[in-house]
Amino acid sequence: MVEIMAKIRWFPLGPIEGPLESITKDDLDKIAKKHGVNIYLEEMRGAVQGETRGKAIEEITQWVITVSTDDEEAFRGVIRALVKKYRAPRTTYATLGSDARARRMIVDLFDEEDGWL
């Protein structure tokens, strides 16, 4: 099977734009184990040029979660779990770096689970 790889970005800009709670490696490890996928957490600053909510993106820390698996059902399950725990990210850059197949699934799941679109 072909690997599905997604990068999902949350900008911790407060209770309206940011995730519902802080994203932690321990929480992600539990979600990964439950769904049998690989999840990696990276905290980045200034990885993208531009502006969001009146702040330069390069000045904002972002959490980047990378999810990879070759099992589509597991991928869908982990995306649902992430949205339920943290909610869908509120930025147009949310899926930057994801492969096209993953992005299509993410957009559908974000909309289904959180009314993203």
Q: Which domains does the chain have, with CATH numbers?
A: 4-114 (3.30.70)
Contact 16, 53 (CB under 8 A): no
Mean pLDDT of 89-111: 89
Which of 11-20, 77-86, 90-99, 107-116 shows the highest mean pLDDT?
Answer: 77-86
Instruction: Tell me which residue of 40, 47, 50, 51 sits closest to 61, measured CA to CA.
Output: 47
Looking at per-residue pLDDT, the higher value among 116 and 10 belongs to 10
Give the Cβ contact number of residue 18 at 10 Å: 20
Among residues of the chain, what percentage have pLDDT more than 90?
A: 50
CA distances from 12 to 5, 77, 107 (A): 23, 24, 20
Q: What is the mean pLDDT of the chain?
A: 85
Cα(13)–Cα(89) distance, rounded to whole angstroms?
11
pLDDT at residue number 57: 56
Tell me the pLDDT tens digit for each residue of 13-70: 666 667 888 899 999 999 999 999 999 999 877 655 555 556 665 566 788 999 999 9
